[in-house]
Structure 1
Amino acid sequence: MTAIWESPALGGIPLDPRVMAEEVAADLGLLSGSVIEVVRLHLEALDSALSLGVPELLADQLRWQTVRLESAGAPFGPEDVDKAVREALGPHLTPRQLAQVEELQNSAAVLGASGAHADSLVALPVGPAHDYLAAALAGHRDEAIAVVREAMMSEVSVADIMLGILQPAQVELGRLWEAGEISIAHEHYTTAITQLALSLLYPRLLLNRTLLGRSVVATSVGSEAHEVGIRMISDLMEQAGWRTAYLGADVPHADVIERVAQHRADVLAVSATMAGHIRGVRELITLLRADPRCAGVRVLVGGRPFTINPQLADLVGADGWAPGAAEALEICRTWTEDRSRAR
């Protein structure tokens, strides 16, 4: 049976984070869906940060937590959430464990600007990406798709459309959601349009490609709703001549391992966009390493937590990490060349 909490400090707590989040929200005096979500993600990020010794994971959570609380009309801020969380955890922890929690929360508060590196990757100047996102957020699906079609008609490459239009639009979309400037409905609607755009581009991936005899399995860990990035990586690798198996999100670890073995994959590409899902990445990699059928498979990870702290890749047992689709493709190409030279 999988433990509810990953970190030793919180491992003895019998309550699920979702249940505790409701209790904390009630103690804060605002039992709304938005506040419960903020507290749940805080608890999951705290658990991962304690387990790995990486306060940046919680610091990044605190940064967007402020605006989410404001947008929910909460009369309290992150410091109040910190205190309420400690009070809820207190009866289940020893004084030493509670001190660990408070120390990490304080470190995270100091590192509140640690997400600046990731945010610096967001750049959406006036152009196709801006026009695409503006149309999608306005609810004009046809106009958004027209931006992609126009690029296709202008003979813009599939890779350039993905990396120059769709990827920056999705990154900016995530920033807007974190800032509380758009709703979950906006985020889901725009992501659905991007999935449609990727489907329109897919037939072009198969034109004039040279098969490399290499294969990759790509998946997103946990109940990830943000799987567009890993799909782009899978599509671009297919265009580059790789055999690909894109599994999507929320696939049981055992099924991922089975697919890696059946596909005789050279690389397993794994995405996680939330700090609370880092545990799932590590568990998946541990299972992969333990299966003799997957010996020699290299693991590439990506997603915001790894951008915030690239050392997480080593901590979860991965062979490498990539901040974007283009970098992922280059890393896998290098791995292929290294293996060919070793023969």
Structure 2
Amino acid sequence: MGISVSRESLVSAVYDDLKGKGLVSPEDRDLCIQDINYHLDYLEEAIRNSSPELFEDYVLWADVLLRNLGLPEECLRGSLKSMEKVMLEVLDDETASLASSYISGSLRKLEMEHKPPSYMRDQPLRDLAEKYLELVLNTEAKKARDLIISSLKSGVNVEDIYLHVFEPVQHEIGRLWQTNQISVAHEHYATSVTQMIMSELYPYIYQASERKNLRLVAACVNNELHEIGIRMVSDFFEINGWDSVYLGASTPPEDFRKIVDELKPDLVAVSATMTFNVGHVRSLIKLLGELDDSPPVMVGGYPFNVDTELWRKVRADLHAASASSAVRVAEEFLKTE
């Protein structure tokens, strides 16, 4: 956005407007300012990508989170209205009008039903997924691990464990945290248990398919810590005969560039879960494009599923909506090259 004032001044003006309306108290100042900054981070990234959907989705998510923390509905709505008011006062007309349209659109969305549904639905391996969720929530890591290993030994394949157990359980853990049913500590523990178990599954992964003489380099962009999704993508490629080089979370862009230049993969897979990291995806794609022999880049992660055209906006070569579709999308793309 073309902001003619500093972020600090803008946030301060929004806070003062909220205080003047009696919507915040002095003891809540730090938390309120933190929330205003979050709102602005998402708004700026949405506008930068010409994507009202990204901001609307964030606002609906934030509303569920804040209401389940016991805050009144007007908390978020008041903040958005104050942001809009201040921006119309201090930004240039074009930018203010654009920001106002994004905020107004999100306020309209808030009037619609947006209760997040459970991810534990009728699906293959539902009983297994529910038992696994119960165990990780009860901090029973060994039992959770034994449950997965015994399922594999009984004939369940790795891909189904990933798709129908780990993936819905991770989503459900996120929903339970969003709705204030579990703590951040529980969420982190559950994620660490799943990562630990995934690390034990490579004997099953490596034996799954004949090799294809194709190489993938996969990682999260810098500042992105949500890595299970891209790790699943990397493992799916390995299962399907690729040589997958998984770099992990928050990979520095220059280091990413160097290893891609060194390994010369057939494909790079990049993930961002948080909308405010989409800019890092765009920057990394530009950086990789400067290589003499730049590989195609596939992007994925939550924002790219919210706005299905976002991958084009960041100038990626292809997009996969899920780990299960990533290999097919990639191999179909490479056939046309």
Q: TM-score, normalised by structure 2?
A: 0.86
- Which secondary structure does the structure 2 equivalent of 1:310 belong to? coil
Deviation at 1:87, TM superposition (A): 5.4
The 1:227/1:208 distance shift into structure 2, 3 A limit, reads closer
The structure 2 residue matched to 1:102, chosen from 100, 103, 110, is: 100
The 1:123/1:315 distance shift into structure 2, 3 A limit, reads farther
Counterpart of 1:196 in structure 2 is 196
Distance across 1 between alignment mates of 2:272 and 2:336: 27
The 1:131/1:115 distance shift into structure 2, 3 A limit, reads farther
% identity of equivalent residues: 29
What do the CA deviations read for 1:101-124 (whole angstroms, capped 9, x no partner)?
1111112233459997xx689444
Contact 2:68 2:178 in 1 (8 A): no
Distance across 2 between alignment mates of 1:246 and 1:115: 39
Counterpart of 2:253 in structure 1 is 253
Cα RMSD over matched residues? 2.9
- Which secondary structure does the structure 2 equivalent of 1:292 belong to? coil
The aligned amino acid for 1:44 is D
1:281 maps to 2:273: no
- Which secondary structure does the structure 2 equivalent of 1:293 belong to? coil
Counterpart of 2:6 in structure 1 is 14
- For residues 15-54 of structure 1, the aligned pairs below 5 Å read 15=7, 20=11, 24=15, 27=19, 28-29=24-25, 31=28, 38-54=35-51
Contact 1:63 1:113 in 2 (8 A): no
Contact 1:38 1:65 in 2 (8 A): no
Aligned residues: 326
The 1:273/1:208 distance shift into structure 2, 3 A limit, reads closer
Deviation at 1:281, TM superposition (A): 1.0
Distance across 2 between alignment mates of 1:71 and 1:160: 33
The aligned amino acid for 2:7 is L
The 1:174/1:21 distance shift into structure 2, 3 A limit, reads farther
1:69 maps to 2:61: no
The aligned amino acid for 2:97 is A
- For residues 48-197 of structure 1, the aligned pairs below 5 Å read 48-75=45-72, 76-86=74-84, 89=87, 92-112=90-110, 122-125=119-122, 126-197=126-197
Distance across 1 between alignment mates of 2:152 and 2:33: 43
What do the CA deviations read for 1:203-260 (whole angstroms, capped 9, x no partner)?
2211253221111111112422321010011111112221222111211211111111
The aligned amino acid for 2:203 is P
Distance across 1 between alignment mates of 2:58 and 2:89: 24
Contact 2:132 2:144 in 1 (8 A): yes
Contact 1:41 1:276 in 2 (8 A): no
Counterpart of 1:323 in structure 2 is 321
Distance across 2 between alignment mates of 1:269 and 1:94: 38
Distance across 2 between alignment mates of 1:245 and 1:13: 44
Counterpart of 1:229 in structure 2 is 229
Distance across 2 between alignment mates of 1:333 and 1:63: 36
Deviation at 1:32, TM superposition (A): 7.4
Distance across 1 between alignment mates of 2:6 and 2:188: 33
Contact 2:11 2:33 in 1 (8 A): no
Q: TM-score, normalised by structure 1?
A: 0.85
The 1:124/1:173 distance shift into structure 2, 3 A limit, reads farther
Contact 1:217 1:265 in 2 (8 A): yes
Contact 2:46 2:52 in 1 (8 A): yes
Distance across 1 between alignment mates of 2:328 and 2:118: 18
- Which secondary structure does the structure 2 equivalent of 1:225 belong to? coil
Of 328-337 and 22-31, more deviation after overlay is shown by: 22-31
Give the gaps of 5 or more residues in structure 1: 1-6
The 1:337/1:33 distance shift into structure 2, 3 A limit, reads farther
Deviation at 1:56, TM superposition (A): 0.8
What do the CA deviations read for 1:260-299 (whole angstroms, capped 9, x no partner)?
11111111111111211111111111111222231xx111
Distance across 2 between alignment mates of 1:22 and 1:137: 42
- Which secondary structure does the structure 1 equivalent of 2:248 belong to? strand
- Which secondary structure does the structure 2 equivalent of 1:244 belong to? strand
Give the gaps of 5 or more residues in structure 2: none
